[in-house]
Amino acid sequence: MNYQWYPGHMTKAIRMMQENIKLIDIILELTDARIPASGRNPDIDELGKNKFRLIILNKADLADPNVTAKWRDYYQSLGYFVMEMNSKTGNEAGKVKDLIQSACAEKIERDKKRGIVGRPIRAMVAGIPNVGKSTFINKLSGKAAAKTGNKPGVTKGKQWIALGKNMQLLDTPGILWPKFEDETVGLHLALIGSMNDENLDLTELACELIKLLNEYYPQAIKEKYNISDEQIREFEEEPYATPLSAVLSALATNRKLIKQGAEPDITRAANLLLDDFRNGRLGRLSLERPEK
């Protein structure tokens, strides 16, 4: 399946970020804690040369906490400031501000020596589509300063948001990059909802999710939908069935997703599985490990 998705507004967004980077002291890069590597746009590394960097492992409440801790240690070993966050609760908002101050301590001290006092820290908030940037900004600012939505492409232009007198945030649209060198990256982005589902085969995507979860969390789907190994074996014997489609057939049967002719509706089963994964209803799951 082709996982490329790069609408025209992303080209404009990159250009806008390039034009504004000279105004910025620090880049706050949000990445989804379930895919901390695939969820990082390499263009932001290029853009952020010579800038202070803070990586936010967002949606940490949806990810495996043990794996997230390994990712935090990994990025810290590379010299980044790193923290985990659940933007929906926003309980870590104060810690984010403290980390920004710590990351920019060198800049603040340099300004003092030059006699510049009270100039606010300017931070650019960047990341892939649907990673939760706007929700993150709203929690930091304590108000609905940025538009939010559970789909990619809600933020289309730049927005400056003041956090008191000492800090300003530049919200930017979610951006992907024109070509994924590794197809796995595109797959992971599609699974968490960073692409437009209308351009994807969701049944095939759900099968890829089953394959990934079988590797890391082999019981997650079976326990969630009460699927037995015997059920899966029975559906595997059906014409044109595969071990992955058999799981969807069992899921559909157990959730009474039946189409005309008393056949399991694997299309609806695929949609349900993806929605449950994206919203954390399968448990706290991570798709990537730093050691890989």
**Can you give the pLDDT at residue 267?**
96
**Can you give the pLDDT at residue 158?**
62
Under 8 Å between Cβ of 167 and 66: no
**Can you give the pLDDT at residue 148?**
42
**Can you give the pLDDT at residue 7?**
61
- Measured between alpha carbons, how far is 130 from 139 in angstroms, rounded to an integer? 16
Characterize the bridge pairing of strands 26-32 and 52-58: parallel
pTM of the model: 0.87
pLDDT of 225-253, one tens digit each? 999 999 999 999 998 889 999 999 999 99
- Measured between alpha carbons, how far is 75 from 59 in angstroms, rounded to an integer? 17
In a 13 Å sphere around the CA of 173, the CA atoms on its Cβ side amount to 22
- Measured between alpha carbons, how far is 241 from 235 in angstroms, rounded to an integer? 7
**Can you give the pLDDT at residue 145?**
54
**Can you give the pLDDT at residue 147?**
47
Walk along the chain (292 residues) and give the pLDDT tens digit of each residue: 666 665 667 778 888 888 889 889 999 999 999 999 999 988 888 888 889 999 999 999 999 999 999 999 999 999 999 999 986 776 777 888 889 999 999 888 888 888 888 789 999 999 988 898 888 888 888 765 554 444 444 444 567 888 888 899 998 888 887 677 788 999 999 999 988 898 899 999 999 999 999 999 999 999 999 999 999 999 999 988 899 999 999 999 999 999 988 899 999 999 999 999 999 999 999 999 998 7
**Can you give the pLDDT at residue 111?**
86
**Can you give the pLDDT at residue 153?**
41
- Residue 116's φ and ψ, nearest 5 degrees, are -95, 110
Beta bridge partners of 159: 171
**Can you give the pLDDT at residue 288?**
96
Characterize the bridge pairing of strands 263-264 and 52-58: unpaired
Please give the CATH topology (third level) of the domain spanning 8-171: Rossmann fold (3.40.50)
Under 8 Å between Cβ of 131 and 174: yes
What percent of the chain clears pLDDT 90, i.e. is strictly above it? Answer: 55
Question: Strands of 167-171's sheet, edge to edge?
Answer: 81-85, 52-58, 26-32, 121-127, 167-171, 159-163
Q: Which two three-digit tokens encode residue 201?
A: 């085969």
- Measured between alpha carbons, how far is 59 from 267 in angstroms, rounded to an integer? 27
CA angle 288, 226, 221 (to 5 degrees): 10
What are the domain boundaries of the chain?
Answer: 8-171, 201-278
Specify the DSSP element, H or E, that contains 82. Answer: strand 81-85
**Can you give the pLDDT at residue 210?**
98
- Measured between alpha carbons, how far is 26 from 205 in angstroms, rounded to an integer? 36
Specify the DSSP element, H or E, that contains 125. Answer: strand 121-127
Q: How many CB atoms lie within 10 A of CB 212?
A: 18
Indicate the burial class of 51 (C-beta count within 10 angstroms; 0-12, 13-18, 19 or more): middle
Please give the CATH topology (third level) of the domain spanning 201-278: Conserved Hypothetical Protein Ylqf; Chain: A; domain 2 (1.10.1580)
DSSP three-state, residue 79? coil
Characterize the bridge pairing of strands 159-163 and 167-171: antiparallel
Average model confidence (pLDDT) across the chain: 88
Q: Which two three-digit tokens encode residue 177?
A: 């990059």
**Can you give the pLDDT at residue 11?**
78
**Can you give the pLDDT at residue 230?**
96
**Can you give the pLDDT at residue 279?**
94
- Measured between alpha carbons, how far is 80 from 74 in angstroms, rounded to an integer? 9
In a 13 Å sphere around the CA of 55, the CA atoms on its Cβ side amount to 26
